[in-house]
Structure 1
Amino acid sequence: MNDQTQETGAVPNHESPNHAAPVQAATGQGAPAHAEPILSVRDLKVAFKAKKEMNEVVHGLDFDVYPGETVAIVGESGSGKSTTMHAVIDLLPGTGRITGGSVKWKGRELVGIGRRDMEAVRGREIGLVPQDPMSNLNPVWSVGFQVEEAVRANGLAKGRKAVRERAIEVLEQAGLSDAEKRMKQYPHQFSGGMKQRALIGIGLAASPDLLIADEPTSALDVTVQRVVLDHLAKLTSEMGTAVVFITHDLGLAAERAEKLIVMYKGNIVESGPSREILQRPRHPYTKRLVSAAPSLASRRIGSDAVLPEAPVESFDVAAIAEAEPQAQRRGEPLIEVKDLTKVYKLRKGNFGHEDFAAVSNATFTINRGETMALVGESGSGKSTIAKMVLHLEEPTSGSITIEGQDTSKLGARQLFDLRRTLQPVFQDPYGSLDPLHNIGNTIMEPLNVHKVGDAASRKARVYELLDQVSLPRELASRYPNELSGGQRQRVAVARGLALKPDILVLDEAVSALDVLVQAQILELLAELQRDLGLTYLFITHDLAVVRLIADRVCVMQRGRIVEQATTSEVFENPQQEYTKNLLAAIPGAHIELGL
């Protein structure tokens, strides 16, 4: 962080940062003033052992959660949000330990109780929806089996038929369509959003009194997100279920939570009614979070910037002649997609199959130096188009033309050369980097594959790229597990830039990042586009981010492009009902955040 003194400044009114007074719900759904808290945390301290010493990461927190109340804990990655709530249910990873304080659940002390006693509370009384859907489902068991195990473990049904019926019910409640059919499938056959829905179903299986939801909707598109959040709101109002959201989505916090807790470096720096805090933040750190959050009112990053011209250091006629065509080329069609269709063969019983059209007759053009965003729900065909543009999937019909070349007619050598100008940045900063390669070798990999330069020049290029994405050069010798999510995504961008491509295909490149890191990556992408004249195909389900990064938008529904226009036109005057529904579903879209 750039301004350490400001971020760690004292809370207004001389409150201790960790001992912000518990605040009653701001809306009518919270408990009355005389109600006892269902969860009461006092002076909670958590430390992790490193090199035989305990390193404290949570520094004496105080907060309460009341029956039926919805609380959001916000803050950047590493602020202690997840650690705090995992400590409450004794699920701290590795060497993590509670080193002080009290956690009372319905008046009963949880710190220090036995394993069996805690297991009786965890799941049945306090449910958890973990953060990463990719690693929290066992790949060798069907999704249905794993949900049924949760139903059995929590004693929710007896007998195979009853357990199965309850498992189908909880998946449907979590917004998973065709739940009965999906029960037989394995995690690798689910999209990220579908896996997240399955985890939500498991967390809700026992109808707990408190649900801890750790980034529960970060992998979900806005319409499914609304289904899930509406269901959680229904639980809260009808069953008195309290919900603690751990989230980086300030729109979600403003719209869905009655109370907000803002954490920074293991401290609570501000807490109170969520809308009041987000519309009138007092602490400098909260102000930074709010200012970094994208919204429908945001302007395109760098929209008022003039693209730099190539510098001419002397009156060299050849240099001027070389610079002029570059300027003329900016804005010309670079990628032309026409009638693109992708049909998959899906297996049916009795060795048969049926056709599934993932993309149908998609047509669009991306001009040099601009950003085209593909948006839509999970399964709308966005990533399938990206894979076909990258030539990782073969189109069933239609054409993709890049710089005037029909890619379907290119030979193996020509395709290999094309990949120097066309590079991907994938969704998952955790899964897209090889844990066995250090950062330097990861960034250098495209240079090695394409045999660019010698060892010394490749090393120099790695350092140049680290500088370009604002990472210290010493990270070259570090490994992915030593980096934060934001740093890993910067490494992914650096690797994508290694071959000096003209085009980057960014598939959900910022969806897993908190608002401060997300803002940094989006600023970086805008800056690189201005400096290098890059062209972006940007795939995302986050429409607020589209407002910040894109020049034009294609809206996809069930494999078809249903609306295509400039970003301003789509946001200010959407033509299709589907587009209007997508915009209306954005959490907190119409809540004005303050500074």
Structure 2
Amino acid sequence: MNDQQPILSVRDLKVEFGKKKERREVLHGVSFDVHRGETVAIVGESGSGKSTTMHAVINLLPGTGKITGGSVDWRGRELVGIGRRDMEHIRGREIGLVPQDPMSNLNPVWSVGFQVEEAIRANGLASSKKEAHARAIEVLEQAGLQDAELRMRQYPHQFSGGMKQRALIGIGLSANPELLIADEPTSALDVTVQRVVLDHLQTLTSELGTAVVFITHDLGLAAERAEKLIVMYQGNIVESGPSREILERPQHPYTKRLVSAAPSLASRRIGADATVPAAPTSSFDLTAVAESDKQIDPNRPMIEVSGLGKTYKIRTGNFGTTDLHAVSDATFTVKRGETMALVGESGSGKSTIAKMVLKLEEPTTGSIKIDGVETADMRGRALFDLRGKLQPVFQDPYGSLDPLHNIGNTIMEPLNIHKVGDAASRKARMLELLDQVALPRELATRYPNELSGGQRQRVAVARGLALKPEILVLDEAVSALDVLVQAQILDLLAELQRDLGLTYLFITHDLAVVRLIADRVCVMQQGRIVEQATTEEIFENPREAYTQNLLAAIPGRNIELGVE
């Protein structure tokens, strides 16, 4: 096969979902080519058909999904209608997949190392257990996981989101496939690890001639890493061509909207009174907002963390244990109506602090006060009342939504537990929340597996707001969202903060988002807070080399955009 010919050629691909009478077409004749060693990025908002397109290619459509037309040519071989056994041979060995959701793609009852070794053996890459073990350590290190040998003994629940994502990237790359489909491969990764992983992928593509298809909502990443860009909207390709060209001179109205809403690209030119398209400027000028609202005492501390530490015991074999210091001596205060962002690499202890603030983990040392009250000894009724004041929005929308509850019941769950109002008023509040997070009301009867990742994340935000809490702890709450929805959610959060005097603890690895929403920033490295200042100071004049490195790694920061 010569290099001029594409290794993957998709022509007029159509996909439908649903039962017989209620079938609906979600892909309306998609066509594109991928050449050997080429990196292609598919971008578009949540639900535009990006993941469906690539899952159709490898015959992994969920539920009732079915290819109803078109052709998928893989190195001269037709994949539409191919037998299951033949497809399983191609998947993993020839076409690798890094799935979007690391939480639900790792088995919780097996150690991470066992799962990586299993994938290596299944793909015929190791003849002995010892060989599989050595290769597993190698692929996890390649994917940027520190202490790979020690970490392999841990279970998925002991990994941060970013660490799980790296384990999946390791599994996807273990067979050195000719094509790697990376579905939001770095959405759970902080920028520095993202850079390490993407540099590694780039090395692979140049050395081994591996082609990569990125499915992403990060336009900065697409511009920086992919030669070719495919823009999808409502199951159609609306624009495709060289990445830089499209982002500097977008033609289609939808591409123009996407580009103008991208905070990861806009971060260098957004100041304290940032504007995001379709967002009122004042929404983001949070300091001015807090001062203008007379009911809010801007100096009243809502979250006071002092000398906080958390140590985990990790088994080392032979019944021994070793200490892992996840958080050491963390101290900060979040005032009422303020947004404090905790930023840092994956595994730096951000989410661990969030869990301790939410009373989901007990601190090893130090104290946490919520609205002036020490939480260490809270039990029973006091803890129940605290839950009404303090609500989480978690990183993983799939893991935090009950698959057996429809969306309406999921959003109403906190109202039912806290016995707020009657059935009719709860339903009215649920519909109001769906409107607030820009979801159609008819989704109330759907289930989590019928929603896209971005839609699930919006449901998680709606549920967090149901009780009208005073404090929201948002753990990577917008990392799974495409830029248009991200702009809406950030605007919504800022608007709610202005109207209700909400206090936010915002955990994120996306510094561009921090620029839009935070008043103050704590930068974390290996469990310690290394720098703490106003957002403006951190961005304009970072003191620590670590912070400078984080800022330098924002993808696409030097790309000029073609939007007025």
Same fold (TM over 0.5): yes
Which one of the candidate residues 284, 305, 308 is aligned to 1:340?
308
Aligned residue in 2 for 1:139? 108
Aligned residue in 1 for 2:289? 307
Aligned residue in 1 for 2:279? none
Letter in 1 for 2:133: R
Letter in 2 for 1:101: G
Aligned residue in 2 for 1:532? 500
Q: Separation in 2 of the partners of 1:359 and 1:575? A: 21
Aligned residue in 2 for 1:490? 458
2:198 matches 1:229: yes
Residue deviations 1:403-458 (CA, integer Å, cap 9, x gap): 33333365643333333222212222222222333444333333333334444544
Is the Cα–Cα contact under 8 Å of residues 331 and 369 in structure 1 kept in the other structure?
no
Is the Cα–Cα contact under 8 Å of residues 471 and 487 in structure 1 kept in the other structure?
yes
Aligned residue in 1 for 2:280? none
Is the Cα–Cα contact under 8 Å of residues 427 and 509 in structure 1 kept in the other structure?
yes
1:53-452 equivalences in 2 (<5 Å): 54-295=23-264, 296-297=267-268, 298-299=270-271, 300=274, 302-304=283-285, 307=289, 326-327=295-296, 329-408=297-376, 412-452=380-420
Inter-CA distance 490–186: structure 2 relative to 1 (3 Å threshold): closer
Is the Cα–Cα contact under 8 Å of residues 46 and 455 in structure 2 kept in the other structure?
no
Letter in 2 for 1:579: T
Is the Cα–Cα contact under 8 Å of residues 465 and 494 in structure 1 kept in the other structure?
yes
Query: What is the CA-CA distance between 1:288 and the residue it aligns to?
Result: 1.1
Residue deviations 1:296-343 (CA, integer Å, cap 9, x gap): 223445245863999xxxxxxxxxxxx95x25x134333222222223
**Partner SS state of residue 263, structure 2:** coil
Q: Separation in 2 of the partners of 1:182 and 1:489? A: 28
Aligned residue in 2 for 1:37? 6
Structure 1 stretch 158-167 or stretch 122-131: which is displaced more? Answer: 158-167
Residue deviations 1:253-311 (CA, integer Å, cap 9, x gap): 0110011011111111101110111111110111111112113223445245863999x
Is the Cα–Cα contact under 8 Å of residues 335 and 402 in structure 1 kept in the other structure?
yes
Query: What is the CA-CA distance between 1:130 and the residue it aligns to?
Result: 1.6
Structure 1 stretch 39-48 or stretch 139-148: which is displaced more? Answer: 139-148
**Partner SS state of residue 112, structure 1:** coil
Structure 1 stretch 84-93 or stretch 64-73: which is displaced more? Answer: 84-93
Query: What is the CA-CA distance between 1:161 and the residue it aligns to?
Result: 2.7
Is the Cα–Cα contact under 8 Å of residues 308 and 531 in structure 1 kept in the other structure?
no
Q: Separation in 1 of the partners of 2:148 and 2:17? A: 40
Which one of the candidate residues 579, 582, 590 is aligned to 2:547?
579
Q: Separation in 2 of the partners of 1:167 and 1:352? A: 23
Q: Separation in 2 of the partners of 1:416 and 1:69? A: 54
Q: Separation in 2 of the partners of 1:89 and 1:469? A: 33
Inter-CA distance 209–578: structure 2 relative to 1 (3 Å threshold): same
Letter in 2 for 1:560: R
**Partner SS state of residue 388, structure 2:** coil
Letter in 2 for 1:38: I
Is the Cα–Cα contact under 8 Å of residues 26 and 234 in structure 2 kept in the other structure?
yes
Residue deviations 1:200-234 (CA, integer Å, cap 9, x gap): 12221221211111111111121211111011000
Q: Separation in 2 of the partners of 1:369 and 1:74? A: 35
Q: Separation in 1 of the partners of 2:66 and 2:109? A: 31
Q: Separation in 2 of the partners of 1:473 and 1:48? A: 20
Q: Separation in 1 of the partners of 2:14 and 2:416? A: 47
Is the Cα–Cα contact under 8 Å of residues 103 and 396 in structure 2 kept in the other structure?
no
Inter-CA distance 84–307: structure 2 relative to 1 (3 Å threshold): same
Letter in 2 for 1:535: T
Structure 2: give runs of 5+ residues left out of the alignment. Answer: 276-282
Letter in 2 for 1:116: R
Is the Cα–Cα contact under 8 Å of residues 123 and 206 in structure 1 kept in the other structure?
yes
Query: What is the CA-CA distance between 1:585 and the residue it aligns to?
Result: 1.6
Aligned residue in 1 for 2:526? 558
Query: What is the CA-CA distance between 1:582 and the residue it aligns to?
Result: 1.0
Inter-CA distance 475–380: structure 2 relative to 1 (3 Å threshold): same
Residue deviations 1:486-537 (CA, integer Å, cap 9, x gap): 4433333333233332211111111111222211111110111111111111
**Partner SS state of residue 420, structure 1:** helix
Query: What is the CA-CA distance between 1:176 and the residue it aligns to?
Result: 2.0
Among all aligned residue pairs of Structure 1 and Structure 2, give the percentage whose two residues are the same amino acid. 81
**Partner SS state of residue 419, structure 1:** helix
TM-score by length of 1: 0.86
Q: Separation in 2 of the partners of 1:392 and 1:149? A: 32
Report the number of matched residues: 550
Letter in 2 for 1:211: L
Letter in 2 for 1:578: Y
Structure 1 stretch 442-451 or stretch 78-87: which is displaced more? Answer: 442-451
Letter in 1 for 2:156: P
Inter-CA distance 480–86: structure 2 relative to 1 (3 Å threshold): closer
Query: What is the CA-CA distance between 1:482 and the residue it aligns to?
Result: 4.4
Inter-CA distance 477–199: structure 2 relative to 1 (3 Å threshold): closer
1:448-459 equivalences in 2 (<5 Å): 448-459=416-427
Aligned residue in 1 for 2:278? none
Q: Separation in 2 of the partners of 1:423 and 1:35? A: 55
Is the Cα–Cα contact under 8 Å of residues 43 and 50 in structure 2 kept in the other structure?
yes
Q: Separation in 2 of the partners of 1:381 and 1:426? A: 15
Inter-CA distance 138–502: structure 2 relative to 1 (3 Å threshold): closer
Q: Separation in 1 of the partners of 2:342 and 2:350? A: 6
Is the Cα–Cα contact under 8 Å of residues 411 and 430 in structure 2 kept in the other structure?
yes
Letter in 1 for 2:20: K
Is the Cα–Cα contact under 8 Å of residues 284 and 517 in structure 2 kept in the other structure?
no
Is the Cα–Cα contact under 8 Å of residues 439 and 455 in structure 2 kept in the other structure?
yes
